[in-house]
A and B are shown apart, each in its own frame.
Chain A
């Protein structure tokens, strides 16, 4: 295996462990917002979509890339905004 893929595996494993630790003790109140926020972060695939949409693959690649950007953006923008809305309600209590 080349270094890059191997490094990718190291990163993958470490990030998984970090994820388990970060999310270990969360009060149930925050489960829904957390799920929604994490879901928004999974829209990070937008970076890949940008590469494809702005790349040099020709018209078909542009179109596929544009669609990927579109769907990923729905995920990102919608996800963060919905989470914000949910969390706002926790803040409004007196």
Chain B
């Protein structure tokens, strides 16, 4: 225990700084949960981070600042430039990259704490105990490295899949379950051994082994997961990176690390749960299901029958007379950057007396709230956005539904076809509307690789083309007509 009387002045000040920053983190996160206070919440959290860094430097006292400054300057520049340059549509993969970066940092901290902490070899119970300052907690070190490395490679794979530098389809290695189990067993054994040995060359070798296996594990765990499930994965990895930081906190006996890390760990876990619930699937199913990949038939274009199509002018004609319209956006809207065009279309229709609303499926896009962010960018009023539960019973009273770049989230097969991999996932009841226009480039399957029965519904019309161009043509037709 810390005896306050023995603390030097700078340490005392630092601890007050830490406590204040923890409070600010908590209030910051709380404020980020409300639309009105979110912006200030984020700033408060950023300020808390600055305060924590300053407090840490104060606590350390006289140090050689060279290496710290190099890291801060280069890292700050990379982070700033990346966050300014990134397109709104690419936000999910950017968050994945930042997340991986944080995980790697935690792993590096733990490795250094282990290698240079001056820990003598000690038996298991001693290792678990940790001890006076200068010593590190063996188990925490190993866990921090393990979780940090899994977060790092997992996030990189998530980034590659989301940015479509790698196929979004699930990649199933032969015997992947056996491989994952083998890696998990190996990593557990080496972690236990590492805790046992702790210190000296043998310990360092074990630690490197754990790091390497964890890096591989991050790849093998994420690579079989389809792109459609990436939101869940990012959220989970976000939770992991918090845990890794908390473990680093245990290793270094830093309360502020433990608190902030576990706050983030809890946040990521809650979000992950919300998303899994929305898809009516368990987390285990997302992680180990290889969603949509088992299914080999039922996908291809050739199997569609009686699909109707319409040109933008026809769509415009029907919309011009509509009293109510619901827009159902999906990832395709993000790719085509169609949100501004949609907003313009909505304005024109509203001027004609049409009630325009937006139906947001919980897993539309590539991360939770992805569609909300894009629509907000286009100045769509917040009140026009409706969650699935709020609007799903209303589709039957809707004149026109515009499905733009959404696919799996509007597939009626999820409700009726027990053999469909989507079966059980709540979907938007768009087919109940009087008319549905689905803007899509082709009849190709969605991220889940599943045939969409909506396209064969008698009241559905496919409007082929790039989402933004099609909407712009509809606008043009409306203005001329």
Q: List the interface of chain A (C-beta within 8 A of B).
A: 1-5, 7-8, 11-12, 15-20, 22-55, 57-58, 60-94
Contacts and interface: CB of A to CB of B under 8 A. Distances in A.
A11 B259 contact: yes
Given A31-B368, A42-B99, A90-B38, A80 B45 contact: yes
Nearest to A88: B39
Interface in B251-270: 251-270
A35 B82 contact: no
Contacts of B385: 29
A71 B49 contact: no
B332 to A, nearest CB: 18
Given A48-B248, A89-B376, A42 B261 contact: yes
21 contacts: A18-B263, A19-B29, A32-B369, A33-B369, A38-B267, A38-B268, A39-B238, A40-B46, A41-B264, A44-B49, A45-B244, A48-B106, A51-B252, A52-B112, A57-B115, A66-B68, A73-B75, A76-B49, A85-B83, A90-B376, A93-B382
B175 interface: no
A76 B376 contact: no
Nearest to B82: A78
Nearest to A78: B79
Q: 5 closest Cβ contacts across the A-B interface?
A: A19-B266, A73-B75, A69-B71, A57-B116, A78-B79
A79 to B, nearest CB: 5
Contacts of A66: 67-68, 70-71
A23 B49 contact: no
Contact of A44 (B80, B84, B86, B261): B261
A77 B82 CA distance: 10
Interface stretch (B126-134, B298-306, B458-466): B126-134
A65 B448 CA distance: 42
Nearest to B130: A5
A12 B256 CA distance: 10
B258 A84 contact: no
Given A8-B255, A71-B104, A42 B32 contact: no
A86 to B, nearest CB: 5
Contacts of A30: 32-35, 38, 369, 372
Which of A2, A53, A58 has the most chain B CB within a 10 Å cutoff?
A53
A86 B375 CA distance: 11
Given A15-B258, A51-B56, A82-B91, A39 B370 contact: no
A24 B34 CA distance: 11
A21 B118 CA distance: 39
B246 interface: yes
A62 B67 contact: yes
B71 A40 contact: no
A49 to B, nearest CB: 5
Given A19-B263, A20-B270, A48-B109, A4 B253 contact: yes
Nearest to B133: A4
Interface stretch (B58-66, B177-185, B217-225): B58-66
Given A40-B46, A79-B79, A80-B46, A8 B250 contact: yes
A94 B379 contact: yes
A94 to B, nearest CB: 7
Interface string B92-118: 101100110110111011011101100
Given A22-B30, A36-B91, A47-B257, A42 B252 contact: no
Contact of A82 (B94, B128, B257, B370): B94
Nearest to A52: B112
Given A32-B91, A41-B29, A78-B82, A65 B129 contact: no
A16 B264 CA distance: 8
Contact of A71 (B33, B102, B368): B102
A57 B104 CA distance: 20
Given A20-B270, A44-B261, A39 B382 contact: no
A81 B80 contact: yes
Given A12-B258, A80-B46, A86-B91, A71 B64 contact: no
Given A22-B33, A30-B369, A73 B72 contact: yes
A73 B71 contact: yes
Given A32-B370, A37-B45, A54-B64, A47 B56 contact: yes
Contacts of B70: 66, 69-70
A68 B25 contact: no
B320 to A, nearest CB: 26
A77 B26 CA distance: 19
Which of A4, A74, A75, A77 has the most chain B CB within a 10 Å cutoff?
A74
